[in-house]
A = this chain, B = another copy of it.
Amino acid sequence: MHYRNALLASLLLSATATLAQNTALQPEAETAEPVQPRQVILIIGDGMDEQQITIARNYLHGAAGQLLLDHMPLRSAVQIQTSEDRVDGKPVYVADSANTATTMATGAITSIGRISTSAGTDQDLTTIAELATAAGLRTGIVTTASVTDATPAAFAAHISLRLCEDSATMEEIRYRDIFLGECRADLKAVGGKGSIAEQLAESAVDVILGGGSAHFTPLAEGETVSTLDLARRNGFEVVTTATELAQATSDKKLLGLFAPGTMPVRLQGEDGREAENPERSWLNQLHPYIGSVTLPPPMTCEPNPEATGVPTLRQMTDAALEHLASANDRGFFLMIESASIDKQSHERKPCGSIGELEQLEEALDSALAFAQTHPHTLIMVTADHSQAAQLVPYESLFAAFPIPVYTPGKLARIVTPEGSHMAINYATNNFIMEEHTGAAVPLFSNSEGVGRIPPFIQQSQIFAITREYLGI
């Protein structure tokens, strides 16, 4: 495919020492044996820690039930590392999705907010997708977020700040009146690579599927066309509906954008409800041990009507696998993200996180089916960082005490299909969005990971394991 040549040249120019050692760049040995394609499918549940997994398991399969994840033959734990934004910066104990995706994509530890750039020095870090492309493998990125969001971005773009998602955000990013940052040093006018959307549009990634069409409508920097047209010019076929996705040809690169931003989640709280503050009587506001407190009424989860007709993560996964595997004797690297486990947890919406974890399970099911017919497929499922939601007692451990005992944060009480009640607490801050948390996260793999992945790894080893498995 011609579009790989330009990238290969640019990669070689900026090659790191690591890249220079890349054995896959050597001419293949001439043997009679046909080369067996090898592929890695890395599934990232954003914010999918043990609390999120247990909450989803209880809801979807019951307290004694099992997820597909639970049947995976290998379970490991992943140590997450983050640095201050300077050379030899001290450790930071709680990460964000940008620095953790960078670590998985490049093997390097960096600072919060960075997309495959180095802490302190702002140097581009070569990603596993770029290495795969350079070695002649195909690559894919699938997400329920905007494709320009931190996790997908880190596999194919390099920028100092995750918020610079499109060409309109490079000089100043504001939320209402609040200045949140800029990426002027990354403008093409000063020798940078432009915004995340522009970098994706100009990338060699073979399949990019998710939300984020709004980030492709601004004019590309220095161009008279939109970023979406820039992508078309760079060889991408663009699709925007499930039908178009199903009909896409497989001889062009594929860019699917199915929502303006984050794709709608599958489940929501009854009537859109989220976790709520307990209602405190006047007396209780005088002192928390007197008066009365009314907890939020229990609710069920219900289908989110906005998700109707939008491709599921499984449909996107199936399309990506088809596109990547068709007439491919070199293999591929595919990253699949279930993004809204995290996003719905930030918004204190447990039903949304549950439905999103169900989507991850379906994508995993597709990946496992693919591996059945394609040997040498390593599937890893992990999270990037832990999140705020806590499964707490429906009745306080201290209910015997004749005083109101209640969370100082926000609580959702969910009626589960097996007829019990599950209480979920969000109390990391008083802001409109919860904080992340710092616990190590699980990693699961199929049988190809057994013997390759130890029971405890650093997050950077995901890059190393992927690279070694692909032989690139």
Chain A residues close to B by CB (< 8 Å): 49-51, 53-55, 57-58, 62-64, 66, 69-77, 79, 81-82, 90-94, 96, 112, 175, 178-181, 288, 386, 388, 390-394, 396-398, 400-409, 418-423, 425, 427-431, 433, 435-442, 444, 455-456, 458
Contact = CB atoms under 8 A, between A and B. Distances in A.
B397 A66 contact: no
A92 B178 CA distance: 44
A295 to B, nearest CB: 11
B405 A430 contact: yes
Chain multiplicity (copies) = 2
Contacts of A112: 397
B51 A437 contact: yes
Contacts of A175: 401
Given A407-B427, A407-B428, A439 B393 contact: no
A351 to B, nearest CB: 15
Given A51-B438, A64-B79, A391-B439, 15 more contacts: A49-B50, A49-B439, A50-B439, A58-B91, A62-B91, A64-B91, A75-B77, A91-B420, A390-B390, A391-B438, A393-B436, A398-B431, A398-B435, A408-B409, A427-B428
Contacts of A178: 400-402
Contact of A391 (B405, B433, B437, B444): B437
Contacts of A62: 91
12 contacts: A49-B50, A53-B440, A63-B91, A64-B79, A72-B455, A92-B420, A94-B391, A94-B394, A388-B390, A398-B435, A401-B431, A408-B409
A45 to B, nearest CB: 14
B409 A427 contact: yes
Name the residue among A74, A96, A442 with the largest chain B CB count within 10 angstroms: A442
Given A422-B93, A427-B409, A50 B440 contact: yes
Nearest to A402: B178
B393 A94 contact: yes
B456 A396 contact: no
Contacts of A423: 93-94
Contacts of A55: 438
Contacts of A403: 431
Contacts of A444: 455
A452 B425 CA distance: 36
Contacts of A394: 92-94
A397 B180 CA distance: 11
Contacts of A181: 400
Nearest to A410: B408
Please indicate which of the listed interface residues A53, A82, A428, A456 has the most CB atoms of chain B within 10 Å of its own CB: A428
7 closest residue pairs by CB, A with B: A391-B438, A427-B427, A63-B91, A75-B455, A408-B408, A70-B456, A50-B439
A91 B437 CA distance: 27
A165 to B, nearest CB: 16
A320 to B, nearest CB: 27
A418 B91 contact: yes
A48 B15 CA distance: 44
Contacts of A431: 396, 398, 401, 403, 405
Given A425-B427, A429-B405, A438 B392 contact: yes
Contact of A58 (B93, B391, B408): B93
